[in-house]
Structure 1
Amino acid sequence: MGVGLVTATALVCAMSALVVPGVASGAPREPAPRPSADRSLEDVRKQVERLYRKAEAATEAYNAARSASEKQSREIVRIAKEIVRAQKRMDRLKNRAGALARAQYRGGSLPDQAQLLLRSRPEEFFHDADLARKGQQATKSLMGALARTQSDLDEYAHSASEQWQKLEENRKKKATAKQEIKKRLADAKKVEERLEKDELKRLRELEDEVAREAQAKWLDSGVLDEISDRASKKGRKAIAFATRQIGKDYVWGAEGPDTYDCSGLTSQAWLAAGRPIPRTSQEQWRQLPRIRIRDMRPGDLIIYHHDASHVGMYVGKGAIVHAPRPGRQVTLAGAGSMRILGVVRPDKQPTGPAAPRS
């Protein structure tokens, strides 16, 4: 087990309250509020969770649009370079065509066949006939090259127009997603600001309790009995990178080095391990090889929620490292504390159809 995995495991053990319910903390717990108050706060917790979930889904839409825009910008630059090269080639061909036309003009207005018949000696006739044939071939080749180059220019222009259109569409998608993110975060903030200090504290406790209960249920299923704690070489590198980011703030759309969102953390961690992967959690789920949960190992990515809007990296011992949401920091959490959609393995080569999701 590598140093990064050992460090992550030690951190997981230190935060056992996340993976085992009912573990006592150092300080005595305050009495829980009245059931009616808890019921009201539970409704608030669900409302806040929905708002943050919608903000996270919008964040991944923003990330996808931004990645697509960057790709299209690079493609436009490539096409522009091809157009410059094709235009230079066209200019050279036109110069050759002009030179050929001038040579034919200087040769007189008689057709080539008539000029050949007027030759006085047979050897001159055959020599000039060969030259005429080569000239015709050269002219045909030149005209073909001109047509192909013009076709290339037309195709490049069409491709550039398409890429500009896609770029504009993705700019609009980014702007829409950005507005959605800001709206959902502002709504969540308004809800939380209406709470008193002790209510806000209890809300945080309720959030933690729900996560612990979900994690305990996941562990009680015996899932860890089959899951390996041995990471691949690249997996250990990815874990080492991700765990070094613990404590850094979540910022939507961020991919380091000082702040991250959920897929920004996982994509950068695997990039540091030498395996570039898609930027968004949806594309990580769509493109990376899927594996069964029981076949999971440290370094694999767990995709959460029905819309694949969240991702965390499994570090072993039933825990993940992830960037939770705005207002929180990169942290360790129970792998089963959220609804699992499935698991993907960045360093696995696809060998066939996607594996089942559970």
Structure 2
Amino acid sequence: MGTVKRAHRRGASALTLLCAMAILTAPGLGLSGTAHAAPAAPSVPGAPATPTPEPGAKSLEQIRKEIEDLYRQAGSATDAYNLAESETKVQSERIVQIAQLIVAGRERISGLKDRAGAAARAQYRSGGLPAGARLVLSDSPSQFLDSKDRLRQGEKATTDLLTELDRTQHDLQRYAKDASTVWQKLETNRVEREKSKKRIEEKIKAAQDLESKLEAEEKARLLQLEQEAQYKAQTQWLSSGAMKDVNGKATDAGKRAVQFATAQVGKPYEWGATGPGSFDCSGLTSQAWLAAGKAIPRTSQEQLRLRKVAVKDMRPGDLIIYFDDASHVGMYVGDGAMVHAPRPGRDVTMAGAGSMPIKAVVRPEA
């Protein structure tokens, strides 16, 4: 699995933090749901003015949108990769279980055959005579009746033995069929992982190629444009009154999840990563809740299946699923802000909860 390296220097990190502080709409990180008014639009000291593009050339804003779209496509492919990866783990464990059942079944069949052979030999030693002949030849009728009763018991035991042997053989056939089905799923997942990995690498490379062609000043301006777009979306979201009634308090588990997630701020995004040195978006949220004592699904699309809550009922620790395809997720931390792992080339950071289109809010604790 490829590793996406950090694509900006310390100066860019400081620039990101400066703009993020303007977006958060709060004087500090709180664990209440209190909303604050939108700040003035962020500006970066010393940032160059937007140059006038040459005729026919793409503007920096067009490039920003193209890069953003490529990274979103990579994020969607990352979710597919992570899902296939988690399913492969489950299926691999199932294969091991089936193998153990097959071994135990074969040992049981071997034991049953030994018992059946012993029963057949005992019957052979009795001569296989009809019951009437054994009565005539018996010195004691009562002894014959006792032996006849034991014979009936032996015959029933033999019948039960053969029935159990047949059932065990059928179980082995079923285990073999189950194993074949799981192997097919493993192969399907392997192919899907490879396809997703290829899509991810292609999209990330295309985005990085676009960005690599920019001059240093243009890269700084690109970062500012990203922050301005987030600010605009956050401002519109707050102006809609979305946070008007949000005042939920974090539970103890929610506080632990938020503390874990915010402690990762500054660590790089890496697709498929679940820490400790780097994270993708759902890797961050799933590990945060695992640290809080709650295991949740690995991918943002699977996390979307958690119990949904209305935005007005949102509280710190809840997860915010973004975009129609549920390709991104962040954790609400209070005061209209969230923490997330944005995309390749960016670090885990704080942003406005409404800085991207919200699809749903879900609660891991439910």
Q: Could you say whether these structures have the same fold, taking a TM-score greater than 0.5 normalized by the shorter chain as the test?
A: yes
Query: Which is worse superposed, 259-268 or 78-87?
Result: 78-87
Q: Residue in 2 aligned with 1:15?
A: 21
Tell me how far apart the structure 2 counterparts of residues 323 and 24 of structure 1 sit (CA, whole Å): 21
Q: Residue in 1 aligned with 2:332?
A: 314
Q: Residue in 1 aligned with 2:357?
A: 339
The amino acid of 1:184's aligned partner reads K
The amino acid of 2:122's aligned partner reads A
1:290–1:252 distance in 2 versus 1, CA, 3 Å = same
Q: Percent identity?
A: 53
Q: Residue in 2 aligned with 1:353?
A: none
The amino acid of 1:197's aligned partner reads A
1:99–1:24 distance in 2 versus 1, CA, 3 Å = closer
1:230–1:119 distance in 2 versus 1, CA, 3 Å = same
- Find out whether 1:159 has 2:165 as its counterpart: no
- Find out whether 1:77 has 2:89 as its counterpart: no
- Find out whether 1:329 has 2:332 as its counterpart: no
**Equivalent position SS for 2:338:** strand
Match of 2:267 among 248, 253, 268: 248
Indicate the structure whose relative CO is greater, using CA pairs within 8 Å and at least 6 residues apart: 2
Name stretches of at least 5 consecutive residues in structure 1 with no aligned partner.
1-10, 349-358
TM-score with structure 1 setting the length = 0.89
1:114–1:66 distance in 2 versus 1, CA, 3 Å = farther
The amino acid of 2:320's aligned partner reads I
Q: Residue in 1 aligned with 2:6?
A: none
The amino acid of 2:159's aligned partner reads K
Q: Residue in 1 aligned with 2:111?
A: 92
Q: What does the per-residue CA deviation read over 1:213-253, in whole Å, with 9 as the maximum and x for residues that have no partner?
A: 00000111122221124101110110011111111110000
Shift, 1:29, TM fit: 5.3
> Pairwise mapping of residues 162-173 of structure 1 onto structure 2 (< 5 A)?
162-173=181-192
Q: Residue in 2 aligned with 1:122?
A: 141
Tell me how far apart the structure 1 counterparts of residues 215 and 271 of structure 2 sit (CA, whole Å): 27
The amino acid of 2:21's aligned partner reads M
TM-score with structure 2 setting the length = 0.87
1:112–1:151 distance in 2 versus 1, CA, 3 Å = farther
Q: Residue in 2 aligned with 1:141?
A: 160
1:280–1:124 distance in 2 versus 1, CA, 3 Å = same
Query: Which is worse superposed, 245-254 or 142-151?
Result: 142-151
Aligned residues of 1:248 and 1:259 also touching (Cα < 8 A): yes
The amino acid of 1:16's aligned partner reads A
1:23–1:45 distance in 2 versus 1, CA, 3 Å = closer
Shift, 1:147, TM fit: 1.1
Shift, 1:89, TM fit: 1.3
Which has the larger share of helix?
1
- Find out whether 1:209 has 2:228 as its counterpart: yes
Tell me how far apart the structure 2 counterparts of residues 36 and 304 of structure 1 sit (CA, whole Å): 35
Q: Residue in 2 aligned with 1:297?
A: 315
Shift, 1:195, TM fit: 2.0
1:87–1:184 distance in 2 versus 1, CA, 3 Å = same
The amino acid of 1:305's aligned partner reads F
**Equivalent position SS for 1:92:** helix
Q: What does the per-residue CA deviation read over 1:65-108, in whole Å, with 9 as the maximum and x for residues that have no partner?
A: 00000000011111111111111111111110111111112222
Shift, 1:136, TM fit: 1.2
Q: Residue in 2 aligned with 1:273?
A: 292
Q: What does the per-residue CA deviation read over 1:181-231, in whole Å, with 9 as the maximum and x for residues that have no partner?
A: 000011111111222222222222111111100000011112222112410
Shift, 1:118, TM fit: 3.7
The amino acid of 2:74's aligned partner reads A
**Equivalent position SS for 2:51:** coil
Tell me how far apart the structure 2 counterparts of residues 269 and 114 of structure 1 sit (CA, whole Å): 81
1:50–1:69 distance in 2 versus 1, CA, 3 Å = same
**Equivalent position SS for 1:15:** helix
Aligned residues of 2:92 and 2:186 also touching (Cα < 8 A): yes
Tell me how far apart the structure 2 counterparts of residues 12 and 117 of structure 1 sit (CA, whole Å): 108
The amino acid of 1:22's aligned partner reads A
